[in-house]
Every structure is written in C-alpha cells, then in structure tokens.
C-alpha cells in the first residue's frame, strides 16, 4: 500500500453522504467526492526529493489553455480526460505522478476586451481564469492545483524575462530592422499565423507590410540540432515531418558571381544544383536585394524602380498568388559566369524571395521549371545540361542523367557532377558547399500591452543593455489606455517617466524597451516551472528538473505541431547549453488528440441554425420561417456555426463521469470524430448499470445479489473480471481508451446477468473503473464498505491463468473458407486438431472425398484443409 493510502484510510469510517440516493445521481455524488479529494489533498505531488526518489516518476502534461471568455469546450475536455485517466492509472501502479495545470494567460483577446470594456486585461484574465478553473474542476481531474501557474503573473514572467536574459547574453536575441505584418486598425503588428489573405483572421482588418526595428531570436543557430534531435523523441511521424519541412534543410552550394563593369562588386547565389552551373543563362535578384539600385543601368532605372515599388506593395500572399505568370525586369547589368566568364544578364523578379538563401539565384531554365517559365516569357536562352531520356517530352528536366554541355562535368551523374563542381569552386575560390535552411529567425516582439515586458534598457548613447537580474520582474506599468500611442509607439510608451526612465546601478540612464514578448514566450518553458512552481530564488530546482524531465506524455491539439513545439524545443536546448536542464528534449512522447466535429445546419444563404430551432417534416429539417430544407453537415465545432457543445451543460444532465467516458469512448484519441448526443446517453446508461450492481434502485439498499463468498464462486464472472483487469491495463498504457471502456462494458453486462455478485469481484472492478469514472467508483466503493480512497488505491493484479479461456473455438476452413467450428481445450495438439477437423461432418462435405493436398494447423486458431 502506498503511503498516501494510509494517510486517507480514516475517511472510510466517515459518512460520505448524509442520505443515500437510490438512483444514480451524479449531481450529488460528484461534487461530494471532489470536495473530499480536495480536502485530503490526495493529488498533491510530493516536492521532497528523498521521498520522490522512492518511486519511479511519470510526468503527464496537457497543453495548457488560453483562458478565453467562452470557457471550456468538449475538445479541451477530451485531452484533459485522457491525461487524467493516465495520471490516475499511473498513480495506482506505483508512480509518483506530476500532473499539473495552468494558464497561458497573456494574449491579444484579453487586451482587445480590455480596450472594448475599459477594464484592465489582468482583471479580464482573472475573471476568465476563475471561470475556466471552476469548469475544469467540475470534471474531476486529479491535477495538483498547488502547482497552478499563470504566465501573466509577475511571479512567473519574472523568470520568462530571466530566461530572455540568458538568450541575450548568448547573442541569441538581437534587434533588427525587419518587415512585419502591421495592422493599422489595431495599431499593432501581428504574428504570421494571425494573418491570412492579407487580413487579420479575427476581424478581417487589412494588414500591410512595414519595416520596423524588432527583437529577433536566433533560432536558426539551432536548426541542425532541432532537426537531428527529432530522432530522440517518440512523436507522431506526421508532426516530426512537419517540423522537418518547416526547418527545411537543403544541401547545395553558394556560388559567387562578379558583376561585369563593377570592379570587385559581386553577389552570391545559393543553389541545390551546382552541377547545372553550365546551364545558367541569366541571374535573378529579389526586388529587395541591396545591389539592385547600384547595378541598374540608367536606361533601365525607371522600369526597375517601378517594378520594385509594385513588389513592395504586394503582400506575400498576393506575390505568391499572382505568380502563376512570372514577371520581372532586366537591370541592364550582367554577371560573369564563374567558370566560362560568359556575360549573364541580371534580372529582378518577385519569384525570387529575399527571405530565403541569399535573395539571388542563378537561373537554369533547362533544369528548373520556374526558370524555364521565366526564360520563355522573356525570350532568354535555355541550355540543357542533363541529358533527358529519349521519351522525355516535358520542359525543364529534373531527373537524373548524364551531364551534357558542361565541359569537365560531361557524362557525370547529378551526384558526381555536384561533388566535382563544388570541389572546383572551392579550389578556385568562387564558391563553397553550403547547407541552407528555410527556418528563419523568430520575430519576438509585439507592440502590445498584455505581454511580458523586455528586461532591456536603451541608453542615451544608443547602446542596448540588459537589466541586472535583481531588477526582475519588470512589471507591466499602469497606462491610461491599452492602445498604441497616436504616433504609433507601443502601449507601454504611454507609461509615465517613472517607469520609462531608468537609472542603472552604475548611474547610466536610459529608456525601457516598450515592446512586449509574444504569447509563445510563456509557453516555451511552463513545463519546467511546474516541477518547482513556487521557487522564488530560481526558475526551478535543477534536481527536481533532473527527476521529472522529460515530460513522459504530452497531449494537445495538432495545431501546435510546429510553432509552439519548435519554440519550446529551441528554448530547452538553449537552457541545456546553459547547464540549466539535464534533458536534451523537453517532451519525450507527444500525442495529438483529434478534432471533435458536430452536426451543423445551414440554409442556402449560408445562415446557421441551432438544431432546436428547426422543424422536422417528412425526414427533412426546415428553418423556423419555412422555406427550403437546411443542409446538414459535420463541421468543426465553432460558436459561429452554432454547433458547439458546452461540457457544463452535459455535466448538468449526465454528470462528469458520463462525459469523461463518452469523450474517450467516441473513438481513438488521435482521430477526428463527430459528437453524438445519443452516444453520450449510452455511457450514462452504462453507469446506471454499474450503479445497480451495488445499489437496489427501488430501495436504495445494497443490491440483494451481493454475497460475501470468495470470487471463485462465480467462476465465469471471475474470469471476465481478470480479463478486464488485464485488457484495461494494456489499453490504458497504449492510450486505447475506447477499447478499454468496451471491455468494462462486457464485464458489466455479464455481471448484470449474474445471479449472485461476490462483493470482492465488484470491489476489484471498481478499482479498474476508477481512473475512468472516478466519482461513481469512489461512491460505490464506499457503499460496499471498501477501505480508503480509490484515488489512492493500488491497481489490482490479474491472474494470468484465469485470463485464459477454458475452451477455445478453433475454426475449420476448407480452401480458406469457414466451414465448421471446433470447441477444444487450449493447447490441443496439431495432430489432434487435424484429426478433429477431418472428422467434421460439414468439412467433409466440402472436401468431397478428395485427398487433402495440404493441411495448415494453427494451434488454438484454425485448421485449413486445402484440396
């Protein structure tokens, strides 16, 4: 027995309930047990290392939510239920479990609500957190609430700032002039993921590109390790692949091109195909390339300036969208081919992006379709340098083949030619092998109020310095409004001089940074703070980190597949390099829960209706005013689609246990699946059947079928019990909750049909049920006179011998078709099975007197007679 079981054993003697409900009534029993768990602090994880080291650890983590005003939805509840079942199960099987919860509480919605309502975002956030917490608690999760964190609390963001200083010290944080998504209506920059089709996704306000001086984090310095270390983690292959694509590693070469007539002036291109250098017939610079202005010849100046100006106006989206047709203009300048010395015209075109590689390319139309299209459009020459196969009828040829028209490379395959060309370039100082990544540095500042202030001061002489650690936290100052200033400076610029003006300990004076950090900052390290949530000296105790990390199971939506998970991995690796964490990767196993869909009803004009507004006539649904029947479809739950399901509404009707079971019974956790209210009723009925195993619902007294005999007096039920213990254990470990629940249903169906119910069998079953439906399990356990709390109980052992079948059905097939079944004891020998099969009346009819060619016998499975 675990220590905590002893500590709570006395609860068994206390009356849990004033009166005894007859019928299953989750509304009374659930709050009662939640109160008991909370009062006895049964889910409090020890903090003392000596005690912790007595048991193995298991860290099971949910992606913490942004506490939005609309509250918890059934999608949250699915993931949280899954981790809760795992947490409760792991506790029962002898682990110290870390299962914490908290709030990703900085963010734009609270700030926008603050502007709208004229209330401080902290107040709005607190209101939402309180609501979210109350709802979350009502589901009966076994979180250690003492470790609750809130990223917007100064106790927390003090350490977010502290980690930023570590990044700054290591030159991983820097200021740079970069193009950003500026939304004039909101007066702030937006993250890339908040902008689609040139507008802010929430409000539809247009977004423009603007250059601003911004904080950047040098995540590109970690590109290779972020890529390589994906090998170390147990994540869905799809998520790893998305991260690999995002990092976008490609091998190739940089090649230097001198500009004809500009002594010493050159530019560098990146190419993955240095083998095709002899096929380069022109070069292209991105319109923003710094050399454009200098090299453009006077006769081309006007056209080039017009093109550059037009490109600047276009959003990224417009640039890629309109780019079916390639456009560009010649600069009039020419580059020198690094091998042949030939003059190659230099063009500018917006199909070349300044943000990737060097912002310049050598164009090889023979082997690149984009270059082919451009060359065709502007009448530029095309030279093939890889021999296409005889039957090739395409344009640019991307396949392998012998090099042609390529001087010293002729006849070589692509791979050989690449190696040889790189060697030549390096030998002649005209280029070098190069690994390029798509990943870009992370734009880390926002012109917002509701985020972490930077612990940074701009001195009068223009230098940028970090605040000393003792000055942390830099708290958010009070401001009169949460909008940017009229001249476009961030909201923090509204703070008074007593906040803005800083005198450093050495007497130097400066102005505070007025940008704030993006919402991702707090979520980059919250999983570390949980191990030591109240440490005021340090962000966490390294020994606690070494004990608990990495997270053993991390569950959340796939929408964070790239950004959050990449950013957090990046910070973790920096912390590793600083010697602050002992683990290379933060999240050992990642699991994405699937989206939950719901039926939505939409009329021809696109208007959505709630189901209860519609009238049903001859199998069709009509809108309230009549007219055409509505379209019925399955869509992601959304407020705008009026198809959301409120978990609190479900709990009022069916209870948290039924909701928990339904969330997991719907189907595999990772799968997208539709919500069906009827299915939920099935789970409620299941719990009613469980209730009636113990309670006679006419009298409220214990069921008369309960007996105090040993479990062996109902041998069949006893076998099913042991099979259930085993299967639920295996399925829970593998996160196959739906099949675990179905096995519990099999048990309950059989128990319902049983004439007598040995009390010990029911008590054992309740321990199996407890991680899934903890409230009803505790209540019935108590009513049966069970000791202690199930929340602290040990998982029952199953008896392997009892799990085996007494007789096994062995199938008889003739030519692979099922013809008969044999009931035999397990382990019946091959010869015996073959004899029985060939003796089978039905099988003989199909064998038809022929001599079997072959007989395949799989013991305990089947006999296949081939004739």
Partner RNA sequence: GCCGGAGUGGCGGAACGGUAGACGCAGAAGACUUAAAAUCUUCCGCCGAAAGGCGUGUGGGUUCGAAUCCCACCUCCGGCACCA
Binding residue for RNA (CB under 7 A) from 478, 710, 816, 829? 816
SS3 label, residue 332: strand
Taking the C-alpha atoms of residue 724 and residue 716, their distance in angstroms, rounded to an integer, is: 12
71: left (phi over 0), alpha (psi -120 to 50) or beta: left
Instruction: Work out how close the CB of 483 gets to RNA at its nearest, in angstroms, rounded to a whole number.
Output: 30
- Count how many residues are written for the chain: 867
- Distance, CA of 511 to CA of 412 (rounded, Å): 62
Closest C-alpha to 267, from 431, 418, 425, 383: 431
Position 681 contacts RNA (CB under 7 A) = yes
Task: Name the phi and psi angles at 229, rounded to 5.
Answer: -75, -5
Nearest distance from residue 727's CB to RNA, in Å?
A: 10
**Segment near RNA (CB under 7 A), from 33-41, 45-53, 419-427, 682-690?**
682-690
Q: Which is nearer to RNA, 588 or 672 (CB)?
A: 672
C-alpha distances (whole Å) from 524 to each of 198, 439, 529 are 28, 18, 10
Cβ closer to RNA: 434 or 767? 434
Q: Based on CB atoms, which residue is closest to RNA, 419 or 562?
A: 562
CB of 752 to RNA, least distance (A): 5
Task: State the pairing for strand pair 249-259/266-271.
Answer: antiparallel
Q: Which of 17, 28, 228, 250 binds RNA (CB under 7 A)?
A: 250
Given 678, 708, 800, 831, the residue binding RNA (CB under 7 A): 678
Which of 30, 78, 275, 368 contacts RNA by CB under 7 A?
368
Residue among 229 and 681 whose Cβ is closer to RNA: 681
Q: Per-residue x/- marks for RNA, 258-277, CB under 7 A? A: ------------xxxx----
Residue 804 burial (C-beta neighbours within 10 Å; 0-12, 13-18, 19+):
middle
Positive or negative, the CA dihedral 197, 201, 204, 209 is: negative
Name residues contacting RNA, limited to 171-210 (CB under 7 A).
none
557 binds RNA (CB under 7 A): no
Map residues 562-581 to x or -, x wherever contact with RNA holds by CB under 7 A: x-------------------
**Of 135-143, 221-229, 379-387, 672-680, which segment contacts RNA by CB under 7 A?**
672-680
How many chain residues interact with RNA (CB under 7 A)? 81
639 counts as binding RNA under rule CB under 7 A = no
Q: Which of residues 141-160 bind RNA (CB under 7 A)?
A: none
> Nearest distance from residue 211's CB to RNA, in Å?
19
Among 9, 265, 323, 707, which residue interacts with RNA (rule: CB under 7 A)? 323
Question: Can residue 854 be called a binding residue for RNA (CB under 7 A)?
Answer: yes
The answer to whether residues 779 and 29 touch, using CB atoms and an 8 Å cutoff, is yes
* Angstrom distance (rounded) from CA 617 to CA 633: 18
Find the binding residues for RNA in span 600-619 (CB under 7 A). none
Q: Interacting stretch for RNA, rule CB under 7 A, among 388-396, 422-430, 770-778, 855-863? A: 855-863
Closer residue to RNA, CB minimum distance, 294 or 845: 845
**677: its two tokens:** 């209210």
Please report whether residue 807 would count as binding RNA according to CB under 7 A.
Answer: no
Rule CB under 7 A: is residue 375 a binding residue for RNA?
Answer: no
The span from the CA of 20 to the CA of 607, in Å, is 49
Tokens linked to 678: 């009827």
Cβ burial, residue 463 (10 Å; 0-12/13-18/19+) = exposed
Q: Which residue's entry shows tokens 């940008």?
A: 515
Give the CA angle between residues 414, 418, 420 to the nearest 5°. 120
Q: Which of 140, 187, 287, 357 binds RNA (CB under 7 A)?
A: 357
Cα separation of 867 and 647, whole Å?
60
**Residue 170, SS3?**
coil
What whole-number distance in Å separates Cα of residue 475 and Cα of residue 24? 51
How far are the Cα atoms of 82, 665, 733, 737 from residue 725, in angstroms, in the given order?
18, 18, 12, 13
673 contacts RNA (rule: CB under 7 A): yes
Interface positions, 25-84, toward RNA (CB under 7 A): none
Which one of 382, 688, 824, 838 is in contact with RNA (CB under 7 A)? 688
Compute the least distance from the CB of residue 672 to RNA, in Å: 6
752 binds RNA (CB under 7 A): yes
Does position 621 bind RNA by CB under 7 A? no
d(CA 315, CA 144): 47
What is d(CA 263, CA 257) in angstroms, rounded to the nearest whole number?
12
* 129 vs 855: CA distance, rounded Å: 68
Min separation Cβ 440 and RNA, Å: 8
b/e map 570-602, b = 16+ CB within 10 Å: bbbbbbbeeebbebebbbbbbbbbbbbbbebbb
Name the residue nearer to RNA (CB basis): 179 or 668. Answer: 668
Site mask for RNA (CB under 7 A), range 336-355, x = bound: --------------xxxx-x
Contact (CB, 8 A) for 525 and 160: yes
Q: Which contiguous run of DSSP H or E holds residue 771?
A: none
- By C-alpha distance, which of 112, 10, 45, 94 is closest to 548? 45
Q: Which of 166, 370, 529, 564 binds RNA (CB under 7 A)?
A: 370
Given a contact cutoff of 8 angstroms between Cβ atoms, the answer to whether 651 and 681 are in contact is: no
Residue closer to RNA (CB basis): 133 or 209 = 209
Q: Which of 102, 121, 252, 279 binds RNA (CB under 7 A)?
A: 252
Q: Does 245 bind RNA (CB under 7 A)?
A: yes
- Stretch of 332-340, 360-368, 419-427, 469-477 lying at the interface with RNA (CB under 7 A): 360-368
Q: Which is nearer to RNA, 165 or 735 (CB)?
A: 735
Taking the least distance from each CB to RNA, the nearer of 639 and 854 is: 854
Residue identified by tokens 């890629």 is 320
700-739 binders of RNA (CB under 7 A) = 736, 738-739
Closer by beta carbon to RNA, 740 or else 761 = 740
- Residue 355 CB, nearest distance to RNA (Å)? 7
User: Of these, 290, 679, 700, 829, which contacts RNA (CB under 7 A)?
Assistant: 679
3-state secondary structure of 799: coil
Nearest to 73 by CA among 659, 671, 614, 741: 659
Nearest approach, Cβ of residue 437 and RNA (Å)? 8
Grouping H, G, I as helix, E, B as strand and the rest as coil, residue 351 is coil
Q: For RNA, which is the closer residue by CB, 463 or 671?
A: 671
Sorted by sequence, the CB contacts under 8 Å of residue 640 that are 6+ apart come out as: 608
Q: Which stretch binds RNA (CB under 7 A): 404-412, 715-723, 759-767, 817-825?
A: 817-825
Q: With respect to RNA, which residue has the nearer C-beta, 511 or 563?
A: 563
Q: Is 112 one of the binding residues for RNA (CB under 7 A)?
A: no
Residue 643 lies near RNA (rule: CB under 7 A): no
**Contact pattern for RNA over residues 405 through 434, marking x by CB under 7 A:** ------------------------------
Q: For the CB of residue 274, give the shortest distance to RNA in the complex, in Å.
A: 8
- Residue selected from 90, 91, 326, 337 as contacting RNA according to rule CB under 7 A: 326
Regarding 667 and contact with RNA (CB under 7 A), the answer is yes
Buried b (16+ CB within 10 A) or exposed e, 467-493: beeeebbbebbebeebbbbeeeebbbb
Contact status: 228 vs RNA (CB under 7 A): no
Query: Phi and psi at residue 570, in whole multiples of 5°?
Result: -60, -50
Interface of this chain with RNA, residues 498 to 517, rule: CB under 7 A: none
For residue 519, give the nearest of 572, 570, 567 by alpha carbon: 567
Applying CB under 7 A, the span of 127-135, 452-460, 479-487, 744-752 interacting with RNA comes to: 744-752
Q: Are 46 and 106 in contact (CB under 8 A)?
A: no
């Amino acid at each position: 027995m675990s220590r905590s079981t002893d500590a709570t054993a006395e609860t068994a003697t206390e009356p849990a309930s004033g009166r005894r409900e007859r019928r299953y009534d989750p509304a009374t029993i659930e709050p009662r047990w939640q109160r008991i768990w909370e009062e006895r602090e049964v889910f409090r994880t020890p903090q003392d290392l000596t005690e912790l080291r007595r048991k193995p650890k298991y860290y099971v983590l949910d992606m913490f939510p942004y506490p939005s005003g609309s509250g918890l939805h059934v999608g949250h509840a699915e993931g949280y239920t899954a981790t809760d079942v795992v947490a409760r199960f792991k506790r029962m099987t002898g682990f110290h479990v870390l299962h914490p919860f908290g709030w990703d509480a900085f963010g734009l919605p609270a700030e926008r609500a603050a502007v709208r309502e004229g209330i401080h975002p902290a107040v709005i956030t607190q209101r939402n957190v309180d609501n979210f917490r109350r709802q979350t608690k009502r589901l009966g999760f076994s979180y250690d609430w003492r470790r609750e964190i809130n990223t917007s609390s100064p106790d927390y963001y003090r350490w977010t700032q502290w980690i930023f200083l570590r990044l700054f010290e290591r030159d991983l944080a820097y200021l740079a002039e970069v193009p950003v998504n500026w939304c004039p209506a909101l007066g702030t920059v937006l993250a890339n993921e908040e902008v689609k089709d040139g507008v802010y996704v929430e409000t539809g306000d247009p977004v423009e590109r603007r250059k601003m001086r911004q904080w950047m984090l040098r995540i590109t310095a970690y590109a290779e390790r972020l890529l390589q270390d994906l090998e170390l983690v147990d994540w869905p292959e799809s998520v790893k692949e998305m991260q690999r694509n995002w990092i976008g590693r490609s091998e190739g070469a940089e090649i230097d091109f001198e500009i004809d007539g500009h002594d010493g002036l050159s530019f560098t291109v990146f190419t993955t195909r240095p083998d095709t250098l002899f096929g380069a017939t022109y070069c292209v610079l991105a319109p923003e390339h710094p050399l454009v202005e200098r090299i453009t010849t006077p006769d081309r100046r006007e056209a080039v300036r017009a093109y550059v100006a037009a490109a600047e106006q276009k959003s990224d989206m417009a640039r890629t969208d309109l780019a079916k047709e390639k456009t560009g203009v010649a600069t009039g300048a020419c580059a020198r081919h690094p091998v042949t010395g030939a003059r190659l015209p230099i063009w500018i075109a917006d199909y070349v992006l300044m943000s990737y590689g060097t912002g310049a390319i050598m164009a090889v139309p023979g082997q690149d379709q984009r270059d082919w299209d451009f060359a065709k459009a502007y009448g530029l020459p095309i030279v093939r340098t890889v021999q296409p196969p005889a039957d090739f009828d395409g344009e640019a040829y991307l396949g392998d083949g012998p090099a042609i028209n390529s001087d010293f490379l002729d006849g070589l395959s692509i791979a050989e030619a690449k190696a040889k060309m790189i060697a030549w370039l390096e030998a002649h100082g005209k280029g070098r092998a190069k690994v390029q990544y798509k990943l870009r540095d992370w734009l880390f500042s926002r012109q917002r109020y509701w985020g972490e202030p930077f612990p940074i001061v701009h001195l009068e002489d223009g230098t940028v310095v970090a605040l000393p650690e003792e000055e942390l936290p830099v708290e958010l100052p009070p401001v009169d409004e949460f909008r940017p200033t009229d001249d476009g400076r961030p909201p923090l610029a509204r703070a008074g001089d007593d906040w803005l003006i800083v005198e450093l300990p050495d007497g130097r004076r400066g102005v505070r940074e007025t940008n704030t950090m993006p919402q991702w900052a707090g979520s980059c390290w919250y999983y570390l703070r949980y191990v030591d949530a109240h440490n005021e000296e340090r962000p966490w105790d390294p020994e606690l980190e070494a004990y608990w990390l990495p997270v053993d199971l991390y569950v959340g939506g796939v929408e964070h597949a790239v950004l959050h998970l990449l950013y957090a991995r990046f910070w973790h690796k920096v912390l590793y390099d600083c010697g602050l964490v002992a683990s290379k990767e933060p999240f050992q196993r990642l699991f994405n829960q699937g989206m939950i869909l719901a039926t939505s009803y939409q009329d021809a004009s696109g208007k959505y209706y709630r189901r209860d507004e519609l009238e049903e006539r001859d199998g069709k649904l009509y809108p309230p005013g009549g007219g055409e029947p509505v379209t019925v479809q399955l869509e992601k739950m959304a407020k705008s689609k009026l198809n959301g399901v409120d978990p609190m509404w479900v709990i009022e009707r069916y209870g948290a246990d039924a909701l928990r079971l339904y969330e997991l019974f719907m189907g595999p956790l990772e799968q997208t699946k539709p919500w069906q209210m009827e299915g939920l009723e099935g789970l409620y009925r299941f719990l009613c059947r469980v209730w009636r195993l113990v309670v006679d619902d006419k009298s409220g007294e214990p069921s008369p079928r309960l007996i105090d005999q040993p479990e062996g007096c109902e041998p069949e039920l006893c076998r099913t019990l042991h099979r259930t213990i085993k299967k639920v254990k295996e399925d829970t470990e593998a996160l196959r909750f739906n099949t675990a629940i179905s096995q519990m249903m099999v048990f309950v169906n059989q128990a319902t049909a049983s004439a007598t119910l040995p009390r010990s069998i029911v008590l054992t079953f309740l321990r199996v049920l407890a991680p899934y439906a903890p409230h009803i399990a505790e209540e019935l356990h108590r009513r049966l006179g069970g000791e202690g709390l199930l929340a602290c109980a040990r998982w029952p052992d199953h008896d392997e011998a009892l799990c085996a079948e007494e007789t096994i059905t062995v199938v008889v097939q003739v030519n692979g078709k099922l013809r008969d079944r044999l009931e035999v004891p397990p382990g019946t020998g091959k010869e015996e099975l073959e004899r029985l099969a060939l003796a089978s009346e039905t099988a003989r009819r199909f064998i038809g007197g022929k001599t079997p060619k072959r007989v395949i016998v799989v013991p305990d499975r089947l006999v296949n007679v081939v004739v």
